[in-house]
């Protein structure tokens, strides 16, 4: 436990809050704490808004600097199946939201203030009572309504959810610091 605490001492915590946009449960960050390199070695987020939520796919970094991942919260009753999934897009440099909306939460095929909650840009959106795969990031032709890519997520109810995004194609799936 102490090793984890020491590692966190050099990281900046970002905190999620629940909100709703156009009837969709989302997560926002009321304030994005600044990450000052090299004093801070990065950021972290505790997925603690619902019990047991965890990252279940490999995070991907897309052009534009988004870290894309899905999380899953299993049913708290271990005798029953099911659970809830979320699509997340964080700014890789800060762990926070971007200055403009990243996710077409309201599904109107444009990124605008209609995708915000109280002026805050969501970093996460509820996918449903499903298990979700990692997002497949596909560029779109052109820039319609600010959407330059689509995130396709396969879910356990045999659906593919498509969400418009300002990001781009998959850039890399990890990196190492070389000194």
The pLDDT score that the predictor gives to residue 141 is 78
Per residue in 8-28, pLDDT (tens digit) is: 888 999 999 999 999 999 999
The pLDDT score that the predictor gives to residue 5 is 60
Per residue in 109-146, pLDDT (tens digit) is: 999 999 999 999 999 999 999 989 998 888 887 777 88
**Which residue from 34, 23, 26, 36 is spatially nearest to 101, judged by alpha carbons?**
26
Of the chain, the percentage scoring pLDDT greater than 90 comes to 49
Averaged pLDDT of the chain: 86
Q: What are phi and psi of 3, to 5 degrees?
A: -60, -45
The pLDDT score that the predictor gives to residue 53 is 92
The pLDDT score that the predictor gives to residue 7 is 77
**pLDDT tops 70 at residue 173:** no
Report the Cα–Cα distance between both ends of the chain, in Å, rounded: 28
pTM of the model: 0.85
Q: Between 62 and 25, where is the model more confident?
A: 25
Residue 160 Cα distances to 12, 32, 88, 102, 136, angstroms: 34, 31, 16, 19, 10
Of the chain, the percentage scoring pLDDT greater than 70 comes to 90
89 contacts: CB under 8 Å, gap ≥ 6? 66, 67, 68, 102, 103, 123, 124, 151, 165, 167
69 contacts: CB under 8 Å, gap ≥ 6? 55, 57, 58, 59, 60, 88, 134, 135
Per residue in 46-61, pLDDT (tens digit) is: 998 988 999 989 999 8
Distance of alpha carbon 71 from alpha carbon 159, whole angstroms: 17
Reported confidence tier of residue 152, pLDDT bands at 50, 70, 90: confident
Element (H, E) at 68: strand 66-74
**Which residue from 89, 97, 91 is spatially nearest to 29, judged by alpha carbons?**
97
């Amino acid at each position: 436990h102490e090793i984890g605490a020491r590692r966190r001492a050099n990281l900046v915590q970002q905190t999620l809050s629940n909100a709703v946009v156009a009837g969709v449960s989302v997560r926002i960050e009321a304030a994005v704490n600044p990450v000052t390199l090299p004093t801070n070695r990065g950021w972290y987020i505790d997925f603690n808004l619902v019990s047991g939520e965890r990252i279940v796919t490999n995070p991907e970094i897309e052009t534009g600097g988004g870290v894309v991942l899905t999380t899953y919260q299993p049913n708290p009753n271990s005798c029953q199946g099911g659970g809830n999934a979320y699509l997340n897009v964080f700014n890789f440099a800060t762990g926070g939201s971007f200055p403009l909306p990243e996710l077409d939460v309201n599904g109107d095929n444009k990124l605008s203030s209609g995708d915000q909650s109280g002026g805050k840009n969501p970093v996460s959106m509820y996918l449903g009572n499903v298990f979700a795969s990692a997002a497949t990031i596909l560029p779109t032709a052109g820039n319609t309504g600010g959407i330059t890519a689509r995130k396709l997520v396969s879910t356990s109810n045999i659906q593919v959810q498509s969400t418009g995004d300002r990001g781009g194609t998959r850039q890399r799936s990890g990196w190492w610091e070389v000194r």
